[in-house]
Structure 1
Amino acid sequence: MASAGFTHQSPYARPGSLDELEGPVTGSVEAGSHITGTRYRSFDVNDESQLWDLYSVTVRDGTVRDQRALLNKEVLIRMWPVLNLPQDCRQEWESHFTELRARTRWSFL
């Protein structure tokens, strides 16, 4: 039976390349409420727990524009194994970025 014309569209935004991610590696950043909801809006990038939260919500809920502004390629690769992401989000990003596929949970330690 032929498809009724439906195509799968991922609910997760992602840039075309990790090289587009030029976010800060120090200091504080402000994230939009569409990413954080009622949680924090300001994140100290120097604090590992705030960095983890910022990267988790930005990968999961941010737009490509948010990701470009808030995420840094090298930091994302380092943090990738421990980010709080749904499995389908993680698979979506890893299917497009080999740099993330190579990272495992144990390589973060």
Structure 2
Amino acid sequence: MSATVHAYLARPGRPAVVARTLDELTGPTAGIVELPVRLMWNSERAFDLGDPDELLWMYENVLRETARVEDLRELIHAGTLRRVWQVLNLPRGVRLAWESRHPGLRAA
């Protein structure tokens, strides 16, 4: 571990949560996923992963709102994340946190 630790924020007061490895991200790749209220406060929390726009919206919400690495493991899929990384609309702190830990995402 380096002596300098960077704290990236998802939003003011909330640190970005990043998986230690991409391999641990084993979320679904198809079907309907309903996010828990802690990740999506809207009453419409179900996302069809077969719809590209809904998939992006779900990933953006999970990456921005989670405070638990378990959410990442259960809801995000590593291959899908690599595929959509460049088009995700993420807060700067979330993007920097993930790219600092997983530099391969920058080139994805």
* TM-score bin, normalised by smaller chain: 0.7 to 0.9
Deviation, 1:30, is 1.4
Match of 1:84 among 84, 89, 94: 89
Aligned residue for 1:74? Answer: 79
Higher helix share: 1
Q: Whole-Å Cα distance in 1 between the matches of residues 88 and 16 of structure 2?
A: 15
Aligned residue for 2:61? Answer: 57
Q: Whole-Å Cα distance in 1 between the matches of residues 29 and 98 of structure 2?
A: 21
Q: TM-score, normalised by structure 1?
A: 0.81
Aligned partners of 1:20 and 1:68 also within 8 Å: yes
Name stretches of at least 5 consecutive residues in structure 1 with no aligned partner: 1-6, 104-109
Aligned residue for 1:29, secondary structure, equals strand
Which of structures 1 and 2 has the bigger CA Rg? 1
**What aligned pairs does 1:1-109 form with structure 2 within 5 A after superposition?**
9-10=7-8, 11-38=15-42, 40-62=44-66, 63-103=68-108
RMSD (Å) for aligned C-alpha atoms: 1.5
Deviation, 1:8, is 6.0
Higher relative contact order (CA 8 A, sep 6+): 2
Stretches of 4+ aligned residues off by more than 6 angstroms: none
Higher strand share: 2
Q: Whole-Å Cα distance in 2 between the matches of residues 88 and 39 of structure 1?
A: 27
